[in-house]
Structure 1
Amino acid sequence: MDKQQRIKEWQEKTTQSMNRFPERKERFHTSSDIEVERLYGTEDEHYPMESLGLPGEYPYTRGSQSTMYRARFWTMRQYAGFGSAEETNKRFRYLLDQGQTGLSVAFDLPTQIGYDSDHSMSRGEVGKVGVAIDSIEDMEALLKDIPLDKVSTSMTINAPASVLLAMYIAVAEKQGVAAEKLSGTIQNDILKEYIARGTYIFPPKPSMRLITDIFGYCQENVPKWNTISISGYHIREAGANAAQELAFTIANGLAYVDAAIEAGLNIDDFAPRLAFFFNAHNQFFEEVAKFRAARRMWAKLMKEHYGAKNPKSWQLRFHTQTGGSTLTAQQPDNNIVRVTTQALSAVLGGTQSLHTNSRDEALALPTEDSARIALRTQQILAHETGVADTVDPLAGSYYVEHLTDELERKANEYIEKINVMGGAVAAVEQGYMQREIHHTSYETQKKIESGQEIIVGMNKFSIENEPQPELLRVDPTLGEKQKEKLQALKAKRDQNRVSAQLESLRAAAKSDDNLMPIIVECVKSYCTIGEICGVLREEFGEYTGV
């Protein structure tokens, strides 16, 4: 009996068996509406090794490094930041003591949109979703006793990324650590703020200028720093599916490459320091395929479209965070299981860095116990499961390779539409990506509310009167304390120097000069984030949305 005949008989037999369970009889689809067949592996779907390539070689489908985790594990980060700089510093040192290998800083909303803690817009938000940073004094407290030449730091900051990076550089200098020894990442991805997240300040054009100024400055002064983390994470959190996350993230990346080239930078000088940030969501195999497709797509674009010569320019290196929007307030311990499977998809997909969410993050900022469990999840995957023992262990799976191809195809269709509009910036200004995400989010929510999509513990297998876990509470008096610290700083600093530096910044903003050197001098002079962003608001204006 030939193979095709055996498959036909198998299909007939399994169809009879499936008829006994009508609730599982319908065809299945991934989040990106890719139809999932019962079986992969027919003769017309064969993936020989030569078509996939080798790990660490173009087009990097199988991984950006040839040895992957056999050489070293991924960087284990836990996103942390709450209350005051002193409180967050304690959490950082606790996590480092527990085996974390990199820092990841969350900033409060006033910091994210460039307001000081004493601004009227900051009322009620100081220290609530991240740490409050008003000046270099706060950054010093945040990083106290942390060796910045040995720890890689990721900062989730976008519109005022230049200011927070300048503070980090200045604090390192005070510690005696030269800028060229610093390693880490600033998110610095303003396009996804317009699309999905909303913590923007300036309009697109000056925002893109700030980003390319950072590219140029770091190329000369902070060569180990990843100057941008092009983020699909928040696009997915806003309701996008996997194909949309992939497409819109890469489209945004192309916009940054175009802006840097237009600013006169050479692609092989800045592209090796570009990094990406993806979501690890629920559909396990689709997520693995998404990461593999992303590497292949970026490699082809960098080499074939832009003509980059340096292989490091072709490599898509990425950080992953497990899906915050998938966590439930109901039965929060279930989130440990969700996070574990999501983290596993990131590891099997070849991530370079990983954050695992905590079980109680649907309710509040994580407690110390929850943060430790989330970190232990990564450590168990690394040390106990064997998944890190070989590179790209799912390669050649008919199903995974099919999903990889389909996600690449769907994502490229979106990118072609965006290119016709004039690129990602134009698409953002026209509201295209926002509308696509809103539609997908609406359709997903309808499926959840109808019970078509099951969320365990929420719309099925629920528990009545379940107990509430112990939650972390931020000091309600923090806002007033932060104001007092700010007033004390302003009373003791050299106000003439502050005024002179801010006027120098205003003049530079009106010119074509790179703004980073003067921003570094501003923070060294104890100018606050609100004062620096205030000058730029006056010169650049504010973005008010589509």
Structure 2
Amino acid sequence: MAASLFEDFQPHSKEVWKNQAIKDLKGKDFDQTLIWQAEGDLRIEPYYNHEDLSSLPIELVQSAQNNAIIATWHNREKIIFSTEKATNQLILEAIEWGADSVIIDFEEKDITSIDFKKLLHQIKLSEIYVFFKVQNQSVQLLETLASLIPYQMKGGVQDDYLASWMNTGVLSKDSTIQLTQTIRKVQNHPQFKALLVSGEVFHNAGANSVQEIAFTLANALEYIDQLTEAGLSLEDILNKIEFSVAVGTDYFTEIAKIRAMRYLWQKVLSEGYGFEKASEFPVVISAHTSTYFDAALTPNTNMLRATTEAMSAIIGGADALVLHAYNSTFENEESFGKRIARNISTILKEESYLDKVNDPSAGSYYIEHLTFELAQKALLLLQEVASLGGSIAAFEQGFIQNTIAQNHNSRQEATTSGKRVMVGVNKFRFDEKPFVYEAKEAQTSTIPLLRAQRLSEVVEAQ
């Protein structure tokens, strides 16, 4: 019966399909009507089939996706440090209610003033992945932990000083020395990361997917150059590196973005550095739901955005998923929002079974093609940054900021005019009064910085 069914439907080439589509358009231009020019100069066609994959290095793209360290993703919760006792309670509650790992964000707190015995009470770092986000205090942190913890730790220390500099304009002179010492101190802790390269600083300033990939990898290459010059081997660095990206609302593009980053990173290491063992070092990527696309009005729509963003991250192969509370960008009370965020990840795992397949989008004609196109576009932009002298030089020249600003301004214009639909903001909006738009702090840096923004802010104030 099955064989007879397929015999009744003969396969057709893409050319045959296109000719029929042109005929059905009755004189309308095919490209103008059906081709979508997406952000990042991506050309999205209305139809893909196996012919679109014939010229792609599909085996290399797919093999890069099989390097994830864990079979499923960690449900990772970010907790802002307040006091030792209160933060400890929040960590224990998060773990009890579904989190697999946590990030403790110390912001600008002095590490030496914190009682880590109280902070980590009933928390064993050999069993629970704990990440410590600090600012130029990673060595002090590790020395404190070493005095308390005699076993191998899981988790990591997060101190992305390049991203911080691009956001604040502040860069410590000993940042590279600190990072070098940090990596050396944790070489005997195989499941403890020491170098975070964050793409959120670009995304939340308004970057598109191509820009986020390119500029994130440019920062990673800058770190490699600085650290190898300081005496570390490439293997030492790759063992301790973790990437993070922000995941936006463009569902399929965000799936492809994570896959493209894995593929492009291996390509850069193997071809750019001549590193033949690149495939032996898994590319670890954590994904954060976007604050850039959050809305302060009709705020429950943020839950819907977070859900599709989380699905993109998972299907794209993220090793960890960090969902912020739907109301975290405009309200102080986050307990209910954090519970909802935590449960989104749990439901997608326990009820949607998204953890049962490795690289679930593999073989999709559209996503595979989009993955490769994103990687190619990002590679061209990465090469442009390299031609300017690397990410630091490109930032000092204003290239990175101007490139991102153009994309953000284009998005904002489209959102304000209604060409770009944002549910709860310029479509299906429900609010009793306009949102009070708070002016950004005046910039004090001599060069433009990457300030975190929300796309909907200007529209909400109208």
User: TM-score of the superposition, structure 1-length normalised?
Assistant: 0.72
Alignment of 1:339-354 (within 5 A): 339-354=306-321
1:136 aligns with 2:127: no
1:193 aligns with 2:164: yes
**Secondary structure at the counterpart of residue 370 of structure 1:** helix
What do residues 338-396 of structure 1 show as CA deviations (whole Å, max 9, x unaligned)? 11110111111111111112121232245222211111111111111132222212112
**Secondary structure at the counterpart of residue 276 of structure 1:** strand
**Secondary structure at the counterpart of residue 326 of structure 1:** coil
**Secondary structure at the counterpart of residue 324 of structure 1:** coil
Distance 2:379 2:350 in 1: 37
1:202 aligns with 2:172: yes
Identity of aligned residues (%): 28
CA contact (8 A) 1:194 1:545 kept: no
2:180 aligns with one of 195, 199, 212: 212
- Which residue is 1:281 aligned to? 248
- Which residue is 1:87 aligned to? 86
How far off its partner does 1:53 sit? 4.5
Distance 2:121 2:335 in 1: 19
User: In structure 2, do the counterparts of structure 1 residues 134 and 217 end up closer, same or farther at CA, with 3 Å as the change threshold?
Assistant: closer
CA contact (8 A) 1:47 1:396 kept: no
CA contact (8 A) 1:31 1:283 kept: no
Distance 1:426 1:313 in 2: 31
Distance 1:249 1:5 in 2: 38
Distance 1:430 1:376 in 2: 43
2:59 aligns with one of 52, 65, 71: 52
- Which residue is 2:339 aligned to? 372
What do residues 212-258 of structure 1 show as CA deviations (whole Å, max 9, x unaligned)? 22222322x54432111100012101111111100000011011111
Distance 1:11 1:420 in 2: 43
- Which residue is 1:34 aligned to? 42
- Which residue is 2:401 aligned to? 434
Q: Which has the higher helix share?
A: 1
**Secondary structure at the counterpart of residue 104 of structure 2:** strand
How far off its partner does 1:165 sit? 3.9
Alignment of 1:125-524 (within 5 A): 135-137=113-115, 139-167=116-144, 169-170=145-146, 173-174=147-148, 177-178=149-150, 181-195=152-166, 197-198=167-168, 200-203=170-173, 206-219=174-187, 222-311=189-278, 314-365=281-332, 367-465=334-432
How far off its partner does 1:42 sit? 6.6
Aligned length: 427
User: In structure 2, do the counterparts of structure 1 residues 307 and 26 end up closer, same or farther at CA, with 3 Å as the change threshold?
Assistant: closer
User: In structure 2, do the counterparts of structure 1 residues 458 and 17 end up closer, same or farther at CA, with 3 Å as the change threshold?
Assistant: farther
How far off its partner does 1:106 sit? 2.1
User: In structure 2, do the counterparts of structure 1 residues 16 and 185 end up closer, same or farther at CA, with 3 Å as the change threshold?
Assistant: farther
2:67 aligns with one of 64, 69, 91: 64
Aligned AA for 2:58?
S
How far off its partner does 1:545 sit? 4.7
Aligned AA for 1:89?
N
- Which residue is 1:102 aligned to? 101
Aligned AA for 1:40?
Y
How far off its partner does 1:467 sit? 12
Q: Which runs of 5+ in 2 are unaligned?
A: 1-9, 436-443, 448-462
How far off its partner does 1:459 sit? 1.2
| Aligned-CA RMSD value | 2.9
CA contact (8 A) 2:112 2:140 kept: no
How far off its partner does 1:274 sit? 0.9
**Secondary structure at the counterpart of residue 396 of structure 1:** coil
Distance 2:307 2:26 in 1: 35
User: In structure 2, do the counterparts of structure 1 residues 336 and 216 end up closer, same or farther at CA, with 3 Å as the change threshold?
Assistant: same
Distance 1:313 1:270 in 2: 13
Distance 1:227 1:101 in 2: 19
Deviates more, 1:281-290 or 1:389-398: 389-398
User: In structure 2, do the counterparts of structure 1 residues 10 and 79 end up closer, same or farther at CA, with 3 Å as the change threshold?
Assistant: farther
1:15 aligns with 2:25: yes
**Secondary structure at the counterpart of residue 328 of structure 1:** coil
User: TM-score of the superposition, structure 2-length normalised?
Assistant: 0.84
CA contact (8 A) 1:158 1:188 kept: yes
User: In structure 2, do the counterparts of structure 1 residues 436 and 54 end up closer, same or farther at CA, with 3 Å as the change threshold?
Assistant: closer
User: In structure 2, do the counterparts of structure 1 residues 144 and 399 end up closer, same or farther at CA, with 3 Å as the change threshold?
Assistant: same
Q: Which runs of 5+ in 1 are unaligned?
A: 117-132, 469-542
